[in-house]
């Protein structure tokens, strides 16, 4: 090697280390990959002036596809006046005619629902609505473990035994080609209310599904319970009834919409907003009694009380025993009955949490050993694990380690599991690549279920990791934070907070706005709460001091300990209004941080 080549290579090595040091320094304390969204500045400015909001607010709206006064009005003021007519569904008139004929002729109608929140709430609203009209109604919900998802042989046999002549499905049925044919052969007609994708369609009497090609309905993102509501709305309008006759069920529709992770845009936003208002103002017996278990007064009910309170308790019934307990709770006619079933759901949920915690702890203890051999995924199995909580555990492991996760247990000689994936990896496609090792699988982009034989476990684990390794980029292995705009602390004014609050409810399709602050400095000493959460104060320029809370970020507390003085930091956070002992203040909920 000549002298010049030596110095060229040495310079390249030095430059590489300088670049690496620079990036490491910039990312100090960062847990996530920051992606700053950059909407068109002219659109941001125009919208800011049109609706009289600050640029960070306008940028956040533009990042959600909202760039005009009218679009902002629909977003901030969702109204039932703006929901489409139910008769835009191609088969709606046919479905309404058949149900009204069944009611008039005294036919027995069976509502056939799935065992999750969406299916059970949809079953409840259709049952309540038809019972109020004097219909002969029964319902059927599959056993999660012995029957699985969709129309089952046991369900069809139940319908035949009960002399049912019309089945209305909720949150299932659109893929039940063979099962609907069996019903037809037995003299039972089927109306499908569903929202899942399907390649082929069953020969049903009517199909109401916004995702079916040519269905006619303009909004694709309804949940199954939402489709059931459209059927109720159509029946009410056919009978000449007013809006109150169908909007009274929006409490259960709101619960389903929040729990089923459908897009919280347009029509769903209106249903969720109006449903929460209904729970606050006129809670039915079931919800009033459940409120005491989730420690909330109905008048203070918010979205979080659904996602972390009511939904887990409904799901616990199907996970631990039978979803019929949840249905009985929803159909309760009085406070005493509602209290009894709410207590049963609470007890099931307590057991579910205990089992979930035990399996999660065991799974976490297995991760290191697994990752010694497999670097791109986590696939864990224990024959003793309860199948009802595997999806919950998979989500927790995914959140902690950021790798595609499969958690499996055993039933009737077969291994069954739940799969959860990172945002940029289609887990259904991954499972297709592993199909030679699987008996069954199904799901969508980020969540799936699978069944395999024990002798295939080793080969599946290896192939799953290989496919994940091929398809997962380095960037995709680090969770991404989408930042809406830069925010100076002095711009967090009462008006800013009032507008920001109107972005809620948050969920799939309407994430919380995230802001990165301009550089600010630490004030005082950080505190570590319960060995898990970091709390500290920051200030910038002439702004007031703001309290910052970082949940499950003890790493930040440890990193601050390495610094002397008050470092300048950038915060990725969500400003939130808080009340404590009669004092109202703004707290910054921290997602991530970087030293300037």
Q: Are residue 87 and residue 145 in the same domain, yes or no?
A: yes
E strand or H helix that includes residue 406: strand 405-411
CATH code where residue 505 lies: 2.40.50.460
Residues 405 and 454 in one domain: yes
* Higher pLDDT, residue 254 or 18: 254
- Domain's final residue, options 262, 281, 300: 281
| Residue at 575 is within a domain | yes
Give yes or no: residues 287 and 274 share one domain: no
Is the CB of residue 468 less than 8 Å from the CB of residue 431?
Answer: no
- Residue 22 confidence (pLDDT): 43
Any domain includes 216: yes
Q: Is 487 part of any domain? A: no
Q: Which contiguous run of DSSP H or E holds residue 409?
A: strand 405-411
In a domain, 21, yes or no: no
Q: Please, how many CA atoms are within 13 Å of residue 460, restricted to the half-sphere of its CB?
A: 29
Region 231-239: what's the mean pLDDT? 97
CA distance between the termini of the chain: 42
423 lies in the same domain as 296:
no
For residue range 524-563, what is the model confidence (pLDDT) as tens digits? 899 999 988 999 999 998 888 999 999 988 988 888 877 7
In a domain, 267, yes or no: yes
Confidence of residue 472 (pLDDT cuts 50, 70, 90): confident
How confident is the model at residue 12, as a pLDDT? 53
pLDDT class for 10, splitting at 50, 70, 90?
A: very low
Share of the chain above pLDDT 70, in %: 95
533 and 399 assigned to the same domain? no
Q: Residue 476, SS3?
A: helix
Count of domains for the chain: 4
pLDDT band at 505, cuts 50/70/90?
confident
Cα(247)–Cα(313) distance, rounded to whole angstroms? 24
Asked whether residue 238 falls in the same domain as residue 118, the answer is: yes
Residue 277: Cβ within 10 Å count: 14
Measure Cα distances from 539 to 550, 566, 568, 569, 588 in Å. 16, 11, 10, 10, 12
Query: According to the model, what pLDDT value does residue 8 have?
Result: 45
Q: What is the CATH number of the domain that holds 388?
A: 3.10.310.30
pLDDT surpasses 80 at 485: yes
The answer on 291 and 236 residing in a single domain is no
pLDDT of 406 above 90: yes
| The pLDDT of residue 380 is above 50 | yes
* 411 and 287 share one domain: no
Q: Give the H/E segment covering residue 594.
A: strand 583-595
- Quick one: 173 and 276 in the same domain? yes
User: Which pLDDT belongs to residue 580?
Assistant: 82
Q: How many CA atoms lie within 13 A of 103 on its CB side?
A: 18
Answer with the one of 281, 297, 325 that is the final residue of a domain: 281
The last residue of one of the domains, among 449, 477, 505, is 477
How far from 260 is each of 38, 220, 327, 451, CA to CA, in Å?
Answer: 30, 14, 17, 23
Secondary structure of 184-220 as H, E, C letters: HHCCCEEEEECCCCCCCCCCCCEEECCCCCCCCCCCC
Please state the pTM of the whole predicted model.
Answer: 0.86
**413 and 449 co-located in one domain:** yes
* Residue 123: predicted pLDDT: 97
Q: Which of 307, 226, 215 is nearest to 265 (CA)?
A: 226
Residue pLDDT, tens place only, 195-229: 988 878 999 999 999 999 999 999 999 999 999 99
pLDDT, one tens digit per residue, over 85-107 is 999 999 999 999 999 999 999 99
Domain of 124?
82-281
Q: Across 37-130, where does the E strand assignment appear? A: 108-113
Tens of pLDDT along 333-359? Answer: 899 999 999 999 999 999 999 999 999
| Model pLDDT, residue 30 | 78
Q: List the CATH number of the domain containing 197.
A: 3.90.1640.30
Strand partners, 407: 380, 418
112 lies in the same domain as 214? yes
Q: Is there a domain that residue 385 lies in?
A: yes
Judge contact between 464 and 483, C-beta under 8 A.
Answer: no
Residue 565 lies in a domain: yes
The answer on 317 and 306 residing in a single domain is: yes
């Amino acid at each position: 090697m000549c002298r010049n080549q030596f110095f060229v290579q040495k310079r390249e090595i030095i430059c590489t280390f300088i670049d690496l040091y620079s990036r490491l320094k910039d990312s100090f304390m960062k847990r996530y990959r920051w992606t700053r969204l950059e909407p068109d500045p002219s659109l941001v400015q125009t919208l800011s002036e049109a609706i009289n909001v600050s640029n960070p607010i306008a940028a956040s709206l533009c990042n959600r596809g909202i760039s005009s006064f009218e679009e902002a009005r629909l977003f901030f003021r969702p109204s039932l006046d703006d929901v489409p007519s139910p008769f835009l569904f191609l088969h709606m008139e046919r479905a309404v005619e058949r149900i009204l004929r069944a009611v008039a002729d005294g036919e027995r109608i069976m509502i056939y629902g799935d065992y999750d929140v969406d299916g059970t709430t949809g079953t409840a609203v259709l049952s309540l609505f038809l019972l109020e009209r004097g219909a002969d109604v029964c319902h059927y919900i599959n056993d999660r473990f012995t029957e699985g998802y969709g129309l089952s042989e046991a369900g069809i046999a139940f319908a035949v035994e009960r002399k049912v002549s019309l089945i209305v499905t909720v949150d299932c049925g659109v893929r039940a080609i063979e099962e609907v044919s069996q019903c037809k052969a037995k003299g039972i007609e089927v109306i499908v209310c569903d929202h899942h994708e399907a390649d082929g369609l069953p020969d049903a009497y009517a199909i109401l599904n916004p995702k079916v090609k040519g269905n006619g309905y303009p909004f694709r993102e309804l949940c199954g319970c939402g489709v059931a509501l459209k059927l109720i709305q159509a029946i009410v309008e056919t009978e000449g009834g007013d809006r109150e006759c169908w909007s009274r069920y929006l409490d259960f529709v709101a619960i389903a919409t929040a729990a089923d992770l459908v897009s919280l845009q347009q029509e769903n936003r209106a249903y969720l907003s109006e449903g929460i208002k209904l729970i606050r103002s006129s809670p039915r017996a079931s919800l009033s009694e459940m409120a005491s278990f989730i420690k909330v007064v109905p008048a203070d009910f918010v979205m979080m009380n659904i996602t972390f309170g009511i939904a887990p308790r409904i799901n616990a019934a199907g996970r631990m025993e039978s979803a019929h307990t949840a249905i009985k709770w929803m159909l309760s006619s009085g406070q005493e009955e509602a209290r009894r079933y709410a207590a049963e759901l609470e007890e099931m949920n307590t057991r579910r949490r205990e089992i979930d915690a035990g399996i999660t702890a065991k799974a976490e203890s297995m991760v290191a050993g697994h990752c010694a051999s497999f670097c791109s995924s986590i696939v864990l199995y224990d024959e003793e694990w309860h199948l009802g909580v595997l999806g919950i555990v998979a989500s927790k492991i995914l959140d902690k380690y950021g790798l595609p996760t499969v958690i499996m247990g055993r039933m009737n000689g077969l291994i069954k599991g739940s799969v959860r994936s990172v945002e940029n990896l289609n887990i259904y496609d991954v499972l297709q690549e592993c199909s030679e090792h699987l008996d069954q699988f199904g799901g969508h982009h980020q969540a799936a279920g699978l069944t395999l034989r024990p002798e295939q476990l080793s080969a599946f684990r290896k192939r799953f990791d290989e496919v994940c390794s091929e398809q997962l980029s380095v960037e995709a292995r680090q969770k991404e934070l989408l930042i809406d705009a830069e925010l100076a602390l002095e711009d967090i004014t009462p008006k800013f907070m009032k507008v920001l609050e109107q972005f809620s409810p948050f969920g799939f399709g309407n994430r919380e706005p995230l802001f990165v602050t301009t550089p600010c400095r630490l004030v005082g000493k950080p505190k570590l709460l319960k060995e898990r959460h970091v709390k500290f104060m920051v200030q910038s320029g002439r702004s007031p001091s703001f309290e910052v809370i970082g949940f499950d970020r003890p790493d930040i507390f440890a990193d601050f300990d390495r610094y002397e003085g008050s470092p300048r930091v950038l915060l990725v956070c969500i400003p939130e209004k808080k009340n404590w002992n009669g004092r109202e203040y703004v707290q910054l909920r921290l997602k991530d941080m970087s030293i300037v």
